[in-house]
Amino acid sequence: MENERLVPASPGPNWPVYLWRIIRHPLQASREMAAWETIRPGLIVVLLFGLYLTVGLFTSYLKHDYPPPAEELSAWIKAWGEFTMLPVFKISLEQYRLFTAILSLPVTLGSWILMAGSARLLTKAFGRTTTFDQYLNLFAFSFFPFWLLSSLGDSLFSVTLRAYVLLALKGQYGTLVRALVQLYPQMLYAVVFGLGGVYNGLAAYGAGEAAFRLRGWQAAIIGFVTFVIPLVFCATLFR
């Protein structure tokens, strides 16, 4: 059918509109993006996000935001545990934000490549034809806006509202607020990254022509796998 064919779309000056277009019309936008002949748009999106993380973490290092004062760090550990609040790697707390700033861009690029690579392997196993390059573009637009939202939500919580978070953890606003504050970081990444995984699945489903389209359950598996990869990186690395 005519409306099921891949629709040629220019990856030139208008590609930024797909950051919003794929959210509003994921199936149609992904069909259009699958026709792009270059991965440059996806690479630009991922590089910009990686640089955003790098600058933010390096600025935090220069401001000595981490580690916090001993009393505050103790409250964080009591609320969220040592694994969540302390580095997994044997690096001094004072140098950890510099360490993560250096690794941010490689981790961002690595997550992007692993997501696209795993989706391509699954797609091939399912007997479908979406390529690695197509997935690189698709996931840059379907997942990384959500990663940006999670980073902004994290910054709001841990920087802008930091003093109030500490008071809440001490119980000064009541047990309900304390419980909500404790739940926020885990829910933030689970929900926002989960939405990114859903849109990855929708993008994978919409990218193929009708005769070669993934089944719904196959796209769901791709969405889940590509949700887990960056989540593991974030949970292991960023503090």
Q: What is the pLDDT of residues 182-195, one digit of tens each?
A: 999 889 989 999 99
Q: What's the whole-number mean pLDDT along residues 89-105? A: 92
pLDDT of residue 149: 95
pLDDT of residue 159: 85
Residue 172: is it exposed, middle or buried by C-beta count within 10 angstroms (0-12/13-18/19+)? exposed
| Res. 208: pLDDT tops 60 | yes
CA–CA gap between residue 114 and residue 111 (Å, rounded): 5
DSSP calls for 164-210: HHHHHHTTTT-HHHHHHHHHHHHHHHHHHHHHHHHHHHHHHHHHS-G
Of 195, 202, 219, nearest in space to 146 by CA: 195
CA–CA gap between residue 116 and residue 114 (Å, rounded): 5
Give me the chain's average pLDDT, please: 89
- Place 161 in a pLDDT band, splitting at 50, 70 and 90: confident
pLDDT of residue 57: 94
Amino acid at 107: V
- Place 11 in a pLDDT band, splitting at 50, 70 and 90: low
